[in-house]
């Protein structure tokens, strides 16, 4: 169990991400969503982090 805790702490130090979103409901059964994601990730050798970001758009209908 100790090894698993150490792995989780190590992974938390090398990878983090944030993903805010805006949703809009034009009708009671339709959702339009816009997401933005930013993440930083280090490799296992501790090199400077690589940053990645992106946007996504989604449309959902329920019937």
pLDDT at 32: 97
- The verdict on residue 5 lying in a domain is no
Give the pLDDT of residue 61. 94
pTM: 0.60
DSSP summary character for residue 5: H
Residue 26 in domain: yes
Q: How much is the pLDDT for 27?
A: 92
What integer pLDDT is reported at residue 63 of this predicted model? 75
Considering the domain boundaries, does residue 4 fall inside one? no
Query: What digits encode the pLDDT tens for the residues 2-51?
Result: 566 666 656 556 788 999 999 999 999 999 999 999 998 887 777 788 88
What local confidence, expressed as pLDDT, does residue 8 receive? 62
Domain that holds residue 42: 13-61
User: What does the alpha-carbon distance between residue 59 and residue 22 come to, in Å, rounded to a whole number?
Assistant: 12
Number of domains within the chain: 1
């Amino acid at each position: 169990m100790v090894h698993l805790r150490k792995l989780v702490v190590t992974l938390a130090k090398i990878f983090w991400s944030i993903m805010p979103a805006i949703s809009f409901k034009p009708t009671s059964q339709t959702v339009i969503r816009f997401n933005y994601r930013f993440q930083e990730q280090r490799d296992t050798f501790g090199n400077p982090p690589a940053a990645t970001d992106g946007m996504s758009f989604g449309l959902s209908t329920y019937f």
